């Protein structure tokens, strides 16, 4: 396995004798902790999976992040642990309640109950030129969501996208779905790296891209 | 919100330390493009420096989101039923009034359009005399009623996913509201067998069938769903049955658990793909099977 380039604030630490990714922050979902460090489970987090698989995410720590599809805050909590100002967009009320708890102890995590398909409903809150957009939305039209949100990203920023094949079309071959998504992305983004996340997430594609 | 603020930051008209105003701005504001809000907030005096801005943003977003979550979770099926019925009433009355207004206006002006669009045009006119004033005023009220209908629709679009996330995703907000209204609530809908869900809204046809006067209805209000309407007629019964089955399950999950279950939606999409594949498989062999069918149709005509 290639040695991943980890952002500052993310480290490999021993938990029960196994090296695991970890960040420093309040525990969120009963994950194992070691002092102020808490383990980042790549099976519960697409971004964690991408880091574990050695994707070159371009993340260095302390950047401004827009996170689309924050859900209950499992991953975005880790992101806020090592990043700077982090905007977390989630559409469903129930998981957002848990997200609010994650945001309680993280003073640069800003939870927003908004629809990632309608960026104009949060462009008055989320700042321009963010360093990274992390996207993990399980709806159809994942490439469209990434394209519409490109307006927030700095010219040299990174889109870190997890595409779920089953959300686009359950009956199609995931490889065909991924090809279609990458094709649509190519209009707005230059794809720097892509690869399956199957070791941790079945039928998911991880993508690192930068605006054209 | 005024229009000149449409591209301003959320903090533009929010007095410091006014959580209610901040909540309103975050919830209902919008902007086409983002901007360097932290810098603009400092320049406008809203915050002392970037750190201060982020502290305020943290407080404001948490407050706004907490309130919005509470409001969405308070939204209940009763409200949705009222909203969909009000929407239908507005639409029906607006259409009736538009017909009346345009018919009347046609006797007084040239180039009068029809329907709501026609009424909107008439409402823009300058009145000349008392009768004109009445026609134009009536048209303006018709247009306002049509606007109210659109506003109700937007509200349903927002409320339905909070009341029934799975149903709303599967059936769309409007059909979700109609199914809940027809069943009399989310709980009664959750308790209905899928066969009942399938024919909700087709009660006339169902009772005609039960009294022996008609074939059984294949679908009720779920006919408006793309999965049913977009399927060829001979497969619509299957499509309606499959859709109703999953809608019944979705209603149960929404009522008893309230959590979104992706697997339900995957199952339905898979099932629909199978049903629609039938059309493709008969089309591809259509050359062979079509001919005998045509022959029998001709021979039947000859017999008659």
Q: pLDDT tens digit string along B39-62?
A: 999 999 999 999 999 999 999 999
pLDDT surpassing 50 at residue A172? yes
**Closest-CA distance of chain A to residue B25, Å:** 9
Q: Quick one: pLDDT band at residue A3, thresholds 50, 70, 90?
A: low
Q: Quick one: pLDDT band at residue B6, thresholds 50, 70, 90?
A: low
Interface of A with B in 159-188 (CB under 8 A): 166-167, 169-171
Q: What gap in Å lies between CA A68 and CA A150, rounded to an integer?
A: 12
Q: Quick one: pLDDT band at residue A2, thresholds 50, 70, 90?
A: low
Tell whether B173 lies on the interface with A, counting CB pairs under 8 A: no
pLDDT surpassing 50 at residue A106? yes
Tell whether B118 lies on the interface with A, counting CB pairs under 8 A: no
- pLDDT tens figures, B246-300: 999 999 999 988 788 888 999 999 999 999 888 887 765 544 433 333 333 333 3
- pLDDT tens figures, B176-190: 999 999 999 999 999
Interface of A with B in 145-164 (CB under 8 A): 151-152
pLDDT surpassing 50 at residue B124? yes
Please compute the mean of the pLDDT values over residues A163-192 and round it to a whole number: 92
Residue ranges with strand state E in chain A: 10-15, 18-24, 33-34, 37-39, 65-68, 86-90, 109-113, 130-135, 153-164, 189-196, 204-211
Query: CB distance A93–B57 less than 8 Å?
Result: no
How far does Cα B270 stand from its chain's mean position?
24
Q: Which pLDDT score, from 0 to 100, does residue B284 have?
A: 56
Average pLDDT, chain A: 93
Please compute the mean of the pLDDT values over residues A110-136 and round it to a whole number: 96
Q: What gap in Å lies between CA B184 and CA B167, rounded to an integer?
A: 15
Q: Which residues of A touch B46 (CB under 8 A)?
A: none
Pick the more confident residue, B11 or B257: B11
- Helix/strand/coil for A155: strand
Q: Structure tokens of B230? A: 């977009």
Q: What gap in Å lies between CA A148 and CA A135, rounded to an integer?
A: 12
Pick the more confident residue, B7 or B230: B230
Q: Which pLDDT score, from 0 to 100, does residue A129 have?
A: 97
Q: Is the torsion defined by CA of A138, A210, B57, A31 positive or negative?
A: positive
- pLDDT tens figures, A73-105: 999 999 999 999 999 999 888 889 999 999 999
Q: Quick one: pLDDT band at residue B5, thresholds 50, 70, 90?
A: very low
Q: Which pLDDT score, from 0 to 100, does residue A17 have?
A: 86
Q: Which pLDDT score, from 0 to 100, does residue A4 have?
A: 56
Q: What is the pTM of this model?
A: 0.67
Q: Which pLDDT score, from 0 to 100, does residue B297 have?
A: 35
Q: Which residues of B touch A151 (CB under 8 A)?
A: 33-34
Q: What gap in Å lies between CA A164 and CA A202, rounded to an integer?
A: 9
**Closest-CA distance of chain A to residue B215, Å:** 34
Q: What gap in Å lies between CA B238 and CA B278, rounded to an integer?
A: 11
Q: Which residue of A has its CA nearest to B38?
A: A127
pLDDT surpassing 50 at residue B302? no
**Closest-CA distance of chain B to residue A182, Å:** 22
Tell whether B63 lies on the interface with A, counting CB pairs under 8 A: no
Q: Which residues of A touch B32 (CB under 8 A)?
A: 120, 123
Q: Which residues of B touch A109 (CB under 8 A)?
A: 58
pLDDT surpassing 80 at residue A13? yes
Average pLDDT, chain B: 87
Q: How far is CA B180 from CA A64, B122, B163, B218, in A?
A: 43, 37, 10, 19
Phi, psi of B80 (to 5 degrees): -65, -40
pLDDT surpassing 60 at residue A1? no
Q: Structure tokens of B72? A: 């969405």
- pLDDT tens figures, B160-175: 988 999 999 999 999 9
């Amino acid at each position: 396995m290639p040695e991943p380039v980890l952002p500052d604030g993310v480290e490999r630490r021993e938990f029960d004798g196994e090296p695991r990714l970890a960040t420093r922050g309040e525990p969120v979902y009963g994950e194992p902790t070691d002092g102020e460090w808490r383990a980042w489970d790549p099976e519960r987090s697409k971004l964690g999976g991408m880091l574990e698989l050695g994707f070159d995410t371009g993340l260095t720590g302390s950047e401004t992040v827009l996170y689309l599809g924050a859900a209950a805050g499992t991953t975005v909590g880790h992101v806020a642990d090592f990043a700077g100002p982090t905007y977390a967009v989630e559409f469903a009320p129930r998981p957002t309640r848990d997200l609010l708890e994650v945001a309680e102890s993280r003073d640069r995590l800003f939870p927003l109950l908004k629809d990632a398909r309608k960026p104009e409903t949060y462009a008055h809150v989320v700042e321009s030129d963010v360093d990274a957009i992390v996207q993990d939305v399980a709806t159809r039209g994942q490439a469209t969501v990434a394209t519409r949100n490109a307006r927030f990203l700095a010219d040299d920023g990174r889109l870190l996208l997890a595409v779920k094949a089953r959300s686009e079309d359950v009956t199609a071959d995931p490889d065909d779905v991924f090809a279609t998504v990458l094709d649509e992305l190519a209009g707005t983004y230059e794809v720097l790296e892509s690869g399956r996340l199957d070791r941790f997430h079945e039928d998911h594609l991880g993508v690192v891209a930068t605006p054209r | 919100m005024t229009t000149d603020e449409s591209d301003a930051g959320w903090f533009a008209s929010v007095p410091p330390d006014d959580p209610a105003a901040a909540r309103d701005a975050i919830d209902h504001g919008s902007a086409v493009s983002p901007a360097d809000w932290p810098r603009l907030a400092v320049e406008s005096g809203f915050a002392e420096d970037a750190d201060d801005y982020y502290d305020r943003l943290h407080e404001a977003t948490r407050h706004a989101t907490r309130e919005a979550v509470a409001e969405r979770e308070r939204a209940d099926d009763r409200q949705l039923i009222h909203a969909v019925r009000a929407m239908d009433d507005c639409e029906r009355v607006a259409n009736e009034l538009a017909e009346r207004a345009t018919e009347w206006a046609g006797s007084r002006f040239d180039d009068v359009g029809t329907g709501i669009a026609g009424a909107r045009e008439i409402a823009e006119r300058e009145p000349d005399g008392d009768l004109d004033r009445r026609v134009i005023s009536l048209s303006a009220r018709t247009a306002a009623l049509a606007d109210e209908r659109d506003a109700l629709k937007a509200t349903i679009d927002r409320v339905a996913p909070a009341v029934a996330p799975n149903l709303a995703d599967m059936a769309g907000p409007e059909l979700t509201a109609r199914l809940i209204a027809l069943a009399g609530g989310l709980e009664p809908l959750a308790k209905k067998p899928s066969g009942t869900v399938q024919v909700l809204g087709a009660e006339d046809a169902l009772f005609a069938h039960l009294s022996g006067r008609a074939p059984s209805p294949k679908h009720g209000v779920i006919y408006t769903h793309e999965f049913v309407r977009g399927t060829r007629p001979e497969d619509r019964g299957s499509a309606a049955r499959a859709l109703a089955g999953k809608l019944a399950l979705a209603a149960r999950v929404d009522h008893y658990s309230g959590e979104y279950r992706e697997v339900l939606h995957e199952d339905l999409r898979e099932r629909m793909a199978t049903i629609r594949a039938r059309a493709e498989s008969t089309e591809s062999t259509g050359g062979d099977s079509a001919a005998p069918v045509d022959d029998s149709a001709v021979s039947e005509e000859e017999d008659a």
